[in-house]
Amino acid sequence: MRARAVVVFRGRVQGVYFRANCADKAEELGLDGYVRNMHDGTVEAVFEGDKSLIETCIDWNRKSQPYARVEAVEVNWSEPRGDVRGFQVQH
């Protein structure tokens, strides 16, 4: 089942290669979307693809980011829009 998730990662997630590592994992899993730093120090990621693969990616980012320390994750699920292709790091 395809889905869309808007995810906010809180903690030590900026300046630790979080976006690059997130993008590599999302691409490995075949997900579409993007990841970007937010002004409040969080990182927002939008994932589209198979729901179970999105859940795998969220879990990996929560627990396995090599330099980050994720303290909280907020996930909002919705229907996929199909407006993103590939996975990009936004600056």
Q: State the pTM of this model.
A: 0.96
| Distance in angstroms (rounded) separating the CA atoms of residues 58 and 62 | 6
pLDDT digit string, tens, across residues 54-75: 999 999 999 999 999 999 999 9
Judged against a pLDDT cut of 90, whether residue 91 lies above it is answered with: no
Judged against a pLDDT cut of 90, whether residue 49 lies above it is answered with: yes
CATH topology for the 2-79 domain:
Alpha-Beta Plaits (3.30.70)
Question: Dihedral through CA 80, CA 78, CA 70, CA 91, nearest 10?
Answer: 50
Contact 86, 17 (CB under 8 A): no
**Which residues are marked as active site?**
19, 37
Q: Structural domain boundaries of the chain?
A: 2-79
pLDDT for position 5: 98
N- to C-terminal Cα separation, the chain: 30
